[in-house]
Amino acid sequence: MTEKKLTRKYADAGVDIDAGNRFVQRIKPIVSKTFRTGVITDIGGFAGLFSLNLQHIEKPVLVSSTDGVGTKLKIAFMMDRHDTVGIDLVAMCVNDILVQGAAPLFFLDYLAMGKLDVDRAADIVKGIADGCQEAQCSLIGGETAEMPDFYGKGEYDLAGFVVGLADNKDILDGSEIAVGHRLIGIGSSGLHSNGYSLVRKIFFEDLHMKVDDFVPEFGRTLGDELLEPTRIYVRAIQNLRRDFRLYGIAHITGGGLIDNLPRILPAACKGVIERGSWERPPIFPYLEQKADIPEREMLRTFNNGLGLVIVVSAEDTKEVMLRLQAMGEKGYLIGTVDERGEGEEPVELTG
């Protein structure tokens, strides 16, 4: 009787330790470009270290957020393009703390694959590093997990974690938003990272389209449109806050305008939004028409062309719009804050 051969190496179970070590060395120069003042560690340690400079902050508050990219990753798999989803990962996290009044300090990522593909993983981290540089934060650590039999061939998952800093007096919670304030929408780059389960169903199941189909309305292929990275608003918002008072900021993600704007409005206020007051990127009317999506469903599922909504005084509105334009951002006066009556919805559409 032949003796059964035992599995004696981790690699026999599908985990390549040497590939992991090569990957760490590969990404070190990519990650180091994100380091800002405060980083006191290098990639490859057991934890990331960041030193806080609190000299000019009276009451420091750490602000954190975590998020993923969702099923937008499926588009990356279909196109075998992996250098942009990391930007989405950073954007979804940093935009969330930005609207609370925090400046991003450092970022951590979690990347899980069935089998570590060093080239693909390096492309992913390059995207994360690009996002961190745009957000002015440091990528100081992360986890790369090789998990055989857990993910399909060529598939992976991403999660991100950001920590930022704010002075307690500068935290934005919307509590001082009042009747008469103006709502300014800041343009999105497209779908960002929300609604992709529905988007994939419409394009690939209902319309039988492929990622390499050229769409005249988009001026590019479907895949290129769907992989357009989420816009990062750190520089724009920090610039505005130096000279203007922002009473509140809503990040328009899953739930759209209908669900996200009310998160910053006092109970006695409602947002009155004028239809057609902003430019929608072509992807939104295309989806709406091809799939016959009702208006309310569009407004609850997608950002519809607005990545952020900021609340400003009537007096500052014109100057804020001009500043956004000067920074290359698309700003739209989309509505006002009004008194909310008993039984009224927190968001009212007019026009």
pLDDT digits (tens, 9 = 90+) for 296-340: 999 999 999 999 999 999 999 999 999 999 999 999 999 999 999
Task: Check residue 238 and give its pLDDT.
Answer: 96
- Whether the per-residue pLDDT at 195 is higher than 60: the answer is yes
Contacts of 224 (CB under 8 A, 6+ apart): 218
Q: What pLDDT is recorded for position 6? A: 60
Amino acid at 209: M
In whole angstroms, give the CA distance from residue 338 to residue 273: 10
What is the Cα–Cα distance from 233 to 330, expressed in whole angstroms?
A: 12
At 79-134, the pLDDT tens digits run 999 999 999 999 999 999 999 999 999 999 999 999 999 999 999 999 999 999 99
Q: Is the pLDDT of residue 12 over 80?
A: no
Give the CATH architecture of domain 10-170.
2-Layer Sandwich (3.30)
Measured in whole angstroms, the distance separating CA 39 from the mean position of its chain's CA atoms is 23
**268 within 8 A of 181, measured Cβ to Cβ:** no
- Give the separation between CA 216 and CA 155, rounded to whole angstroms: 30
Query: Residue 254's closest CA among 99, 70, 84?
Result: 70
Q: Provide φ and ψ at 311, rounded to 5°.
A: -110, 125
Contact by Cβ (8 Å): 126, 68 = no
Is residue 254 scored above 80 in pLDDT?
yes
Of 33-42, 107-116, 154-163, minimum mean pLDDT range: 33-42
Rounded (10°) CA dihedral 246, 250, 252, 253: 140
Q: Which pLDDT does position 229 carry in this prediction?
A: 98
What pLDDT shows up at residue 5?
A: 61
Q: Do residues 111 and 143 touch, judged by C-beta distance below 8 A?
A: yes
pLDDT of residue 4: 62
Q: Answer yes or no: is pLDDT of 158 > 80.
A: yes
Which pLDDT belongs to residue 40?
Answer: 87
**pLDDT at position 2 over 60:** no
pLDDT range class, residue 293, cuts 50, 70, 90:
very high
Residue 191 confidence (pLDDT) above 90: yes
pLDDT in tens, 233-251: 999 999 999 999 999 999 9
Alpha carbon of 175 to those of 19, 165, 241, 255, 269: distances in Å?
A: 51, 20, 17, 21, 10
For the chain, what is the mean pLDDT?
92
Does residue 309 contact residue 320 with C-beta atoms inside 8 Å? no
**pLDDT score of 256 more than 90:** yes
Q: Is the pLDDT of residue 43 over 80?
A: no
pLDDT of residue 28: 76
Please give the pLDDT value at position 35.
84
Give residue 189's pLDDT.
Answer: 97
Q: What is the fold of 182-350? A: Phosphoribosyl-aminoimidazole Synthetase; Chain A, domain 2 (3.90.650)
Q: What residue spans define the domains of the chain? A: 10-170, 182-350
- pLDDT tops 60 at residue 1: no
pLDDT at 182 over 80: yes
- CA-based nearest residue to 84, from 41, 127, 116: 127
For 196-206, the pLDDT digits (tens) are 999 999 999 99
